[in-house]
Structure 1
Amino acid sequence: MDNLDGNVLAGPTSDIFGFDLTSSQGQCQFCEDIAVLGQSMVYGMPMGFVARCRRCGHVLMVIMEHAGRKSFSAQGLRWLRPSEIGGFHE
């Protein structure tokens, strides 16, 4: 299965958080790689998306939709820092 461009997560993350997370930086819990979410390898599935680390391939986050409701899990991220372009501002 071919992966999608990580920027495909712009819509689903905007639906959940109110802003696009693809330019947000995060760290993989497994290999400690730091990258923007838009660089992740994303796989589509019938009910959502799975974002994997660009370096080690472990699952960073899952966005699922069931019965019209979206859910979000980011167990593979050690941390996520939203960019100043639409995310949290200091």
Structure 2
Amino acid sequence: MTLFDGNALAGELADVLGADPTTARLRCTGCGSLGSLGETRVYRTAMGSVARCHGCDTVLVTVVSDGVRRRVGLPGVRAASIG
């Protein structure tokens, strides 16, 4: 497993969240902190990517691709704003 920051998800999430998804503001369900996707900690494996809250380590975003479809989950996001 390799650790990156949230900027690593920019290309994958641009299709879903718009041109620059790293600026999307996410509120964590775990600790309530508000931060940009670019501030998260992203863990990548061959199976996909997981972005975790920088404050409490809650899983905020999951991205899994099977080569045909990309599936994005926001299990730890209470609210998101773009722009």
Give TM-score, length-normalised by structure 2. 0.90
Q: In structure 2, give the amino acid aligned to 1:73.
A: G
* C-alpha contact 1:26 1:81 (8 A) present in aligned 2: yes
1:17 Cα deviation from its structure 2 partner: 3.7
Check if 1:79 corresponds to 2:79: yes
Runs of 4+ in structure 1 deviating by more than 3 angstroms, as ranges, are: none
Which residues of structure 2 form unaligned runs of 5+? none
Larger Rg over CA atoms: 1
User: What is the number of equivalent residue pairs in this alignment?
Assistant: 83
1:3 Cα deviation from its structure 2 partner: 1.9
Higher helix share: 2
User: Percent of aligned positions with the same letter in both sequences?
Assistant: 35
Which residues of structure 1 form unaligned runs of 5+? 84-90
Check if 1:53 corresponds to 2:53: yes
Further displaced range: 17-26 or 56-65: 17-26
Check if 1:6 corresponds to 2:23: no
CA deviation digits over 1:20-56, x for unaligned, max 9? Answer: 2111111000100100110000000113210000010
Residue 20 of structure 1 aligns with which residue? 20
Residue 88 of structure 1 aligns with which residue? none
Residue 39 of structure 1 aligns with which residue? 39
Q: Equivalents in 2 of 1:62, 1:5: separation in Å? A: 14
1:16 Cα deviation from its structure 2 partner: 2.9
Q: Equivalents in 1 of 2:47, 2:16: separation in Å? A: 15
Higher strand share: 2
CA RMSD of aligned residues (A): 1.4
Q: Equivalents in 2 of 1:67, 1:10: separation in Å? A: 18
